[in-house]
Structures are given as structure tokens and as C-alpha cells.
Structure 1
């Protein structure tokens, strides 16, 4: 049964992956057609075609390997300096450029001269290339906000999880109360596990982060209003100064860092809570910031990935995962011992995270990524505006094909990294539990 549920989870993730890819390419397709660019092909996947249909001038299809997708636009690169597509040169770099240029003119038909990608104004090309990643961003935001506001997430609450018996500094070698240690202010005030704090020092409290900040900023006696057994009760407490873990500003803690602040001596309980729209937006901002930081940190993860793949090293929880690893995680999600609604929410979060990664990755200003073509369009716009400003001849379209040698190097690096992640995902996968 577990194997069947795992397989279902993998299939669900793969369907989500294919939809995300198709959604990405739909952004390119719709804007290209909007600007009159001819698009002969719209494909989800790579390798052999397993299904396709022609609708108008475009072939729509699915290929065997669900690791990406593409649309083929006529005239992605301008002709050479002499206006012609040269035969392949014996120079390997020149050959790369000419191969790319020739591929851009495959399936050229009469009347396509005015429907070439490179002939569109830079801002139109920028929109066409940005539309793909932007579709992934839209999908990620919609899923994240939807999950946060409907299913909710596991978060620290204003309900008391446990009350400490005595005052101990954070970072102490033992949590055993030393002899003659004073009771914590929370214990002295009569606070109990299960109490829900609804007001602190006269201010209504609805989330743990605000309560934590209020406690740490306290000095002198305060009144706590708690809900206990269906009734509200007032408790009097006097926070003291103590060495505590540094707050990250959102109710969490900064590992290994400590500050002196107000202290009561209780830990919050965790639970599933729906987020308000402002809370969900704040959380979405944190997710995007973390995603950007993770992208920047990718090169630093290579040594640990290598050790995990080939030296039996421990696979870190924040280690990069590829499609295989993500599919494996999707299979684990379905078998988790959590309510079905939270399995759905976690699976949706996985798909949303994949879409956010697609957006951030494709925004890198490197060919062959969308960001590389966007950078080329922006550079062309700058060149043409500068020429106009200084009354110089129009330099014409920027020939992105000349950057193809760099694109092949970048693609080679990406392939090597992808293979490394694949090996690590197979031999030493990231696991949700255990």
C-alpha cells in the first residue's frame, strides 16, 4: 500500500511538473503570437515526440522526457553581417554561431520576412522572453497564497506548549534546574500548558511573533489574559531579564546567537493556522527572499553534493534537489502521517516552490536561459538609444548568436550540475522524515 501511495505521489508531482512547463511555454507562445511572430512548434518535454497535433500554423505536442519544454520561433537571431546565412565554418566557435543562426531560419516560408523574432522592437522581445518565467511566478504566488490562506501552515501559536520550571540562560549546557534556581515568571504567574494568550499588557494578541516581541520589550509587571477551559482569566506576571536566543523578527530564532531581553519562561505550541492576506503576503515575501538566497548559494553547495553523491557524506536538508529528487519527495508526502488536507497543502507547496525556482533560474542573464535573451534585448535598446542621442547611425539588432560559445559553456556547467544533483538524488536522497 505504501508503495502504491508513493507512486501516486510521484505521478501527481510529474503532472504538476508538466503543467508548470506547459504554463511557462504558454507565456512565450501567447506573447509571440500577440506580436505577430510565427511559432511553428510548442512542445512540452524533450526527445522523441509521443503526441502532437497541428492547430493553424503551430504544432502542439508532448515529448518523452519531461525535463523542460520549448517553443520554436522563426528568426531568433539576425543574419550575418552580410545579410546571409553562411555555411558552417571550420572554426568551432564560428560554427556554433552559424549553427544557431541557421536553426533560427528553419522552416522559413514566404511571407515570414516580417514575422521574424529579431525584427520586433526590443521591448516586444523582452516581453516575449519574460512572459515564460512570469507565468511561473504567477502560478507560484497563486498557489502559495492560496495554501497559506485556505489550508494554513504549521506555525507557532499564542497557545502555551510548555512552562519552564526555573530560570536557565539560553545556551546552557544542561536544561536541568540547578539548586535554588528561581521559578520562571510564567510558572510564578500560574501560566499552564494549553492556555491561549489573547491579551498581553492590555494589547490584543493574535500571533506568536507579536507576543514574543512584547515579552522581550517588557519591564515591570504585566497583565496576561488567557483562555482556559472556555473561560478568560487574568494573570499577573513580572518578566525578568535573561539571556535568550536572538529573534529573527518573525517569531523564530537565530541559531547560535543570544541577546539579553525580557523573559517569562514558556514555549509556544505549534499548530495549523490559516494566514490572513497580509500575513500570507509577508510569508510569500520571505519565501521569495529565501529562494533568491538559495539560488545565489548554489555554487557553495557543490562540495557537499559531491560528498553526498560519491563519498557517503550526509545530505543536508537544504541541499538542492532535481526533478528526480523532487518527485521522490512528492512520493513521500502522500505517505506522511498527517491529515489529508496537509498532504495536499504540502504537495501544492512543492509544486509552487518548483515554479518559483523556474522563475528565479530563468531570470539569470545568461544564454541559453530566457534571461540571456532578455539581456540581449535590453543591450540592443541601450545601444540604439545611445546612437540616437549622439546622432550616430543605428547599430541595428544585437546579434545574440555571437554569444553562443558562452551559451554552450553555461549549458555545459548546468548539465554537469544537473547530473551531480541526479546522482545525489538517487544514491543519497533528501528525505522528509527519518
Structure 2
């Protein structure tokens, strides 16, 4: 079922983005009087379609892209039959270079605008809830395997990242931090201040979807939250609001300590000491701890959800504030991609671990349908799609933009034969990249 939900979210997200991208080309082409023969979401074979005016609108069975066919344009269809004839007034090739440039930029512009609108809406609607830096300094971190690998330790209090103070915990694991040159954390450990460098290529470790939770987390003081109905904790008499003090005599202050102890006590019975603020009926009497005998199941659980005892930060945005913030968040995605590609070319980041195809993107959406998460990822993909399409690779919009820019600057138009050859080379490159991405996804998923 999770696989179906992942696939459904991927198909819906890509259909929206590809449909809007191609609509950008269609509308700008029609604006300049160009004839648009076909508009496709997906690739043939056709599932269904209809004709409106001069244009046939279709939904294709292969949901990995889309296209518009503009009369007189050398595109992925490689339909060059009419190029030997004199250009007609409604053809792409008969229009001024600046108009053709706007048409080729139309899809990219629409994707950028779409991404910005999505992030503005999410910012305005949901604001930002986060773990503040003060809580990190108060409680310290839990260092899991990846954190320990670079030298972090549980209990460290991270003071700065790359020499700068941060605002929220998520800043510590942002792509901007991990992509920085000579990145490092400044921590307080046992009264000493230390710099912990982030090794070159460490971002490769985050190619696994479980990597982020295997890096660092804030140590969480907690109390007992919701009880699992009929679970061992409920049967033993644990109550909502209880604060766990110890397990079999081992002191417990944070949730990860409880989890680690219970993992060692699978299929056994433990003595859990809790503080219960209402366990005394005598006014002004100091409450005594309550000791309960609780069975631990085979998964190391006893049947309750933690209620973290930390003060979360919350930022609300007005619509006026959401516009610059959402726009900044959207363009930051492009900046991260630029830096990531630079790292790949430098050999500091592995292409095989950084690039994802349809399977990897579907896994990012996740196996549960969460509309906030769906739109956040769709907004991210919209900006990535705009960036990737702007790359000066033949067969991408950016390839056409490069040739048109050359034409406008030099005053000389590349020959149709050259453009046809460049289109073929670009298609081979793109098909090779897509094949690599798909097989890379399969390899990462199963090996």
C-alpha cells in the first residue's frame, strides 16, 4: 500500500508540474501567434485527448515528462519534413529571436512562479515550528552513528555552525551547512569548546532516507503522553503525565535513554520508577515516586508515546511577510542545487549517491499521504525542474536558450542541420542520464 501511495503522489506531483511547464510554452507561443499542434502531459501512447482550435491536447501513458509541438521548431519529435519549405508566418522559426527566447523560457518561468507560490502559501498558512537553539544548549544532542563518525558525542552542546550562531536545530543539518567548504561544528563538551570538522563528501551519507535520523537529535526531556490502549504500560498502571525517573535502578532523564534501556530488556519485566504529581492527597506533602512492574515486548516497547518537555519556537507570517520569506525559501533550493552540482564536478560529492530518479523521488514523498508534505515536495521539485531545464544541454529548454542567445548576440542563426544534430546529441545524453538515474535508484533500494 505504501508503494501505491508513493507512486500516486509522484504521478500527481509530476503531472501538475509538467502540465504547468508545458502550458508556459503553449501560452507564450500562442501569445506571439505561433501554431501549437500538440500539448502532451506524459509521452505517447495516448490515453485520451481532445482537439480545441488548432491544438490537440493529450494525456500520455508514459508519465515521465511532456511536450508541446510548435510548428516550425526542431524539438524532441525531430519532425523536420517542413523545414525545407519557406517559413510560414505562424511558424516558430519565422518569429524574431527574442520571441522564440521567451517561448523557450516560458516553461521555466512558470515552474519558478509555481514553486514560489507554493512556498508563499505554505509559509502563510503554516508558519514555522522549530526547536530553538536555546533548547539545544539546554539539553545537548544525541549523537547517532553518523554523528559519532565525525566526532560528535551524545551530550555535546552545539554552540555554532561554520563559526556562526544558528536559530533553530534544523539549521544544523541543512544542505547549506553540509555543502559548505570546510564546514564545522563548534561544541561545548565537559566545559571545553571544540571544533568538529565535517569531512569532505559527508553529504553522500545522507543519500539514504534514514540518514537524517541517524545523525543527531536534540536530547528530549519527556513525560508519558498518550497510552496505547490495552498496552503493557496501561496494564501496569502508567498514567499520562507520569515522569520516568529510572528503569531497574538506572536513572532516566531523556527519552533516548529510556529507549536504549528498553531495547536491552526485550521480552523481560522491568521495574519503572515514575514521579506522579498527583499521587498525594495531603496538601504540601512532597510526592513520593511510584514504582511499577512493566512487561517489555519483543520490539523493546511498553506501549506509550512520549510528550517532549521542550519549548518549541513558533513564527507566524502575515501575507506581506510570507512573500519575501517564501520566495527566499524557493530560490534557496536553486542555490543548493548549484552548489551540489559544483561539488559533484569537483569530485567532493558522489553523483551516484546524490542523483535520484522516479523511484528515489517517490520515496521522498513517503508512504503516507500528507498534503502539507506533498505540496512542500512539489514546490521543491518545481524549482529543481526549472533549474534542470535551464541547464545549457541540447534538447532541454536551456539548450534552446543558449542557441537563441548566441543568435541574438552574434546576429547569426545556427543552421537547421546543426540544431537537428544538437537535438539528437542532447536526447542521447538525457536518455542516458535517465537510465542511469533509474538503475541507480534500483541499486540504492536493493543493494
Pairwise TM-score range, normalised by the shorter structure = 0.5 to 0.7
Distance 1:360 1:427, change over 3 A: same
Report the equivalent of 2:132: 157
Report the equivalent of 1:21: 18
Question: How big is the shift at 1:349?
Answer: 1.5
Question: How big is the shift at 1:280?
Answer: 3.6
Could you tell which deviates more after superposition, 136-145 or 282-291? 282-291
Distance 1:139 1:282, change over 3 A: closer
Matched, 1:330 2:376: no
Which ranges in structure 1 are unaligned for 5 or more consecutive residues? 79-95, 178-183, 185-211, 217-243, 307-315, 335-342, 385-394
Matched, 1:289 2:331: no
- Whether the 8 Å CA contact 1:376–1:400 is kept in 2: the answer is no
Report the equivalent of 1:181: none
Report the equivalent of 2:382: 355
Report the equivalent of 1:31: 28
Counterparts of 1:29-68 in structure 2, within 5 Å, are 29-68=26-65
* Pick aligned residue for 1:414 from 430, 433, 446: 430
CA distance in 2, matches of 1:138, 1:132: 10
Report the equivalent of 1:119: 94
Question: How big is the shift at 1:347?
Answer: 1.4
Distance 1:297 1:61, change over 3 A: farther
CA distance in 1, matches of 2:329, 2:40: 34
Counterparts of 1:38-187 in structure 2, within 5 Å, are 38-76=35-73, 100=78, 102-103=80-81, 105=83, 113-153=88-128, 155-157=130-132, 160=135, 163=138
CA distance in 1, matches of 2:33, 2:47: 28
CA distance in 2, matches of 1:298, 1:172: 25
Distance 1:360 1:175, change over 3 A: closer
Distance 1:162 1:365, change over 3 A: closer
- Whether the 8 Å CA contact 1:46–1:64 is kept in 2: the answer is yes
Matched, 1:12 2:9: yes
Report the equivalent of 1:390: none
Matched, 1:428 2:444: yes
Matched, 1:382 2:409: yes
CA distance in 1, matches of 2:133, 2:161: 18
Question: How big is the shift at 1:55?
Answer: 0.7
* Pick aligned residue for 1:346 from 360, 369, 373: 373
> How far does the alpha carbon of each residue in 1:7-63 deviate from its partner, in whole angstroms, 9 at most, with x for none?
234313311211111111111111111111111111111121111111111111111
Report the equivalent of 2:280: none
- Whether the 8 Å CA contact 1:10–1:331 is kept in 2: the answer is no
Counterparts of 1:214-233 in structure 2, within 5 Å, are none
Q: Secondary structure at the match of 2:329?
A: helix
Matched, 1:246 2:162: yes
> How far does the alpha carbon of each residue in 1:291-323 deviate from its partner, in whole angstroms, 9 at most, with x for none?
3223444557899465xxxxxxxxx5xx22112
- Whether the 8 Å CA contact 1:45–1:67 is kept in 2: the answer is yes
CA distance in 1, matches of 2:402, 2:35: 22
Aligned residues: 307
Q: Secondary structure at the match of 1:115?
A: coil
Matched, 1:402 2:409: no
Report the equivalent of 1:239: none
- CA RMSD across the alignment: 4.0
